[in-house]
Amino acid sequence: MRPLSGASIRVPGRKTYLKYRLDVEPPAARARAGTTRHPSTHGRIETVTSPHVPSVPVDAVPSEFDSGAPSPADGPRAILLDVREDDEWQLGHAPGAVHIPMVDVPARVDELDYDVDLYVICRQGGRSLQVVEYLTHIGFDAIQVNGGMVAWQQAGRPLVADGDRQAKIY
């Protein structure tokens, strides 16, 4: 039997959907195959989305974030806000991203521009979903990037890392 793939579940009490992959066969399939041992791997969450939060796939994010070049003289048209933790940022990030960890967003909201689109990204979508909900509540035009930096890397979008190491997300 083929492993389950691409299923979605609804989180009780929230209007949030988790897209996950199950890389192992379900118990019934193991029983039919005569295997009773539980596998050591479990399903993994690939993306977190909500029908009430504006979101776009990675390929719809403007290419201006693919380089670390400074914004035009008239200012940026959009901001890619990376809300991952410092250690995640150091391993790899989009060249044109602005880094504000999720827990710091309320205190540093004055660093953001109300007149531009904010593309919010994290590792897979859970934190960016919450930040987009908060930012839209206080008046920003915020958009979640589906799949986060994992999808960014899978799509072949450029990455940079701090120091001399090679950038990678997973």
Q: Which of 48, 43, 7 is nearest to 147 (CA)?
A: 48
Active site residue 122: yes
Catalytic residue among 61, 121, 122, 131: 122
Joined tokens for residue 63: 């290419």
Task: Give dist(CA 61, CA 121) in Å, integer.
Answer: 10
DSSP H or E segment with residue 142: strand 141-145
Contacts of residue 85, defined as CB under 8 A and 6 or more positions apart, other chains included, come to 101
Residues annotated as part of the active site: 122
